[in-house]
Structure 1
Amino acid sequence: MQLKYKIVALGILPLILAVAVISALVIFQNQRLGEQQAQLIEDSILASKRAELKNYVEMAMSALAPVYESGRDDEQTKQKVLDELAKLSFGINGYFFVYDHNGRSLMHPRQAALVGKDLWSMTDPHGLPVIQALLKSAQSGDGFQHYAWEKPSTGHVTDKLAYVVMLDRWGWMLGTGIYLEDVERATHQAREEVAREIYTTMLAIGVVALVAVLLVFACGLTLNASEHRLADKKLQGLTQRIVSLQEEERSRLSRELHDGISQVLVSIKFQFELAALELEAGREKGQDILRQGIGRLADAIGEVRSISHDLRPSLLDTLGLAAAVAQLVTEFELRSGLTLHYENNLGDVQLVDGAPVALFRILQEALTNIERHAKAKTVYIDLEGDPAQVRLSVCDDGVGFNINRLEEIHGGIGLRNIRERVDHFNGHFSLSSTPGRSELIITLPTRLRSLA
């Protein structure tokens, strides 16, 4: 990481960390307050509903008190009371119900099919034995019970709060209930309001944090501008020096391979051929062995010459860039199996020292990348020049790649080498890629301008 980015990071990271901690605290506090608010709303509504239910049951008890306190326990009297209770209602979903102490339904005005049935073991969707829980609540004196029951107006099972009392002499449990959908709506609305407040607060914090980060970033870039230019200039000079040394070493190694090892291997090849001729009249096994050795040596010679050419093509020094590129294209086409189309319009353009080598190496890097990654079938190479500049274009029909992603990771070694070579000559580097077409365009001036 460059120094300027380190300095900017040291300024931005603590700020981002502080904003993150503050945001987390704000979210936690708002959520806690929101839950408290929702709980208060729920408790308040439930308290009013408990009072309402208790009032309904007391009114029903007052209505049947004259009959119940008269002491009459015959079935006709009880049925009359049940009929009167069935007529009492408050709203569509408000009604009274009666069960005996064994869990048998005696009266249910909204679900007549349940009347007379033993519902002792019936459970709601949460697994609660509803009638048992209601009887236990009525017998304990508390009277209130939460459970789930089918709502008459919708036919859906909904949470319900009931209040029940015991008529001990008759062994009845009398009660009524209120469905709690409005409680759920109120608490849900409270939570949504809290969520909106959290979003508004976080948006404000985000805007402030973004402004602060941009200010820190701008200050960091301004502080390091001059150091950055100086460091880049020194780095560019050092990079070019390394490239020059590499080219010198490749030239030396190329000469040694061609003038030394290659000649030795050729002489050995001639010796083996002579030995094979001398043994033709003798044992054939010896002839086969020698011929195999000759073949291997011939391959070794070809490999050495290939290495020599890769390190420093002789045509580049003798016939120039256009001829060297033509030879490279031919050899690459034979080796890779790809189809290459080479157009040479360079003419008599005179390039500055080092530019032919740079363009040749750039083409080598481009073809290597195509062979390894592009999965292409055809490559188009165009080399042209005029008195002001020379232009190299390499285009393939491969799968393409994501240039933005490549920029984020600063490209591969090959592309980085291409950029450095182009920057040294104050040239222009252009890269575009879509599925089916990727193109690299390099433009170098024919006269090298000052790097300053």
Structure 2
Amino acid sequence: MKLRHKIIFYAATPLLISFAVIAVVVWHQTIRLGDQQRHSIQEAYQSSKDAELRHYVDLAEHSISHLYARSDTEAAKREALKILAQLDYGDDGYFFAYDFDGNTLVHPRQPELLGRNMWNWENVDGTKTIRLLIDRARNGGGYERYLWSKPSSSTVAPKLAYVIALPKWGWIIGTGIYLDDVDAALAKIDEQVSGHNRDTMRMIAIIALLAVAAVASLGLLFNLSEQRVADVKLRELAQRVVLSQEEERARVSRDLHDGISQHLVSIKLQSEAAIIKLEAPQQVEAARRAFEHTVQQMNRLLGEIRHISHDLRPAILDDLGLGSALQFLCDEWGAHGKMQVDFSCKAQENPASAMINTVMFRVAQEALNNTWRHAQATAVSLELAEEHGWLVLVVRDNGAGFDPGQIAKHPKQGIGLRNMAERLGAVGGSFSVSSGPDGTTVTARVSLSTKEALHA
């Protein structure tokens, strides 16, 4: 997976997970609120129906109360039944009456039931509805829910009845309200809640897709911007590499021309002069001294060649390791008498990969060169150590110091510092500089965990 795809993936995945969690929470909360709303509406419907039924039965009882209170004759009962049969409200609102034995006394919507004994009659669900109504009335009255045929539609629907007993006559009277409209209202509420849930989930999904699209777009823009910056840095780095190579070639060329070439010319001339002297017997001793001087020059020439070779690639770094190479570097600077250079090694002889060892050696070289050229220091200390999985090189001097911020503002200055930082950045290391009137400290850090990765 490419870097740009990884960035988009790692940015979009937590966002999608967050939206999914939000969607689940909103879904459950909406269902919970819908259930609470449904329950509240159902209770409100139930309370209103209960009060309405009780009010209807109270009216019916009041309409025959003068007959029930004054007489127990058959005529009074017939008059009471006639009044109850004439009482109704709406298409499906009527009153019924049964005696305690289950005989139908009043049923205006189903006259075929008049006189019929309903004590053992079973409803469509197998319940003995009339017996339940009689028992409810004889036990003080109350509400009873059951299924009954709805007169206006001839369909079986749930019904809520309220019944009371007239003990003196051995009757029960009551009325009921069909609840299919309540169930329809509750079903509509459920449908609305489900619709709202779907709309909410759809909106969350749309917002999530828009957010992911925005993240992907920003990620692509970021990638393009970073790629452009990386391309610029890569071009600059390539230019610096080429410039460094040319500078190194120029330095080697100067060293060869000014040092080795002159030594070789001098050796050639002295050898030719010594050969001429050998032709004269009296000049043999002078020829011998000339040859001895030539040998001394050749030794100096070999030293110069070793110095140039060491600058290009110190063989001791490959043979003995970083610690020994740094020690040799410090001894060489001290031998020249340019500065007092001390070295302390608290790390293994070869703690990291060859690439990291080379980078740390070049950083030390560059730091010593900068110190000699710019710091006017008399003493320098190098310390190589391992700290918690990191290889750390610290170079301190007692020079005049400088302002790192001012150096960073001038592109033509601080080339050595940039070279050190770029070398360390190439192997995943870090670079820091602190400077003041008491001197300058350069710190280079590389993780030893990158050793295997750089070897691979």
TM-score band by shorter chain is: 0.3 to 0.5
Rg bigger for which structure? Answer: 2
TM-score where L is the length of structure 1? 0.46
TM-score where L is the length of structure 2? 0.46
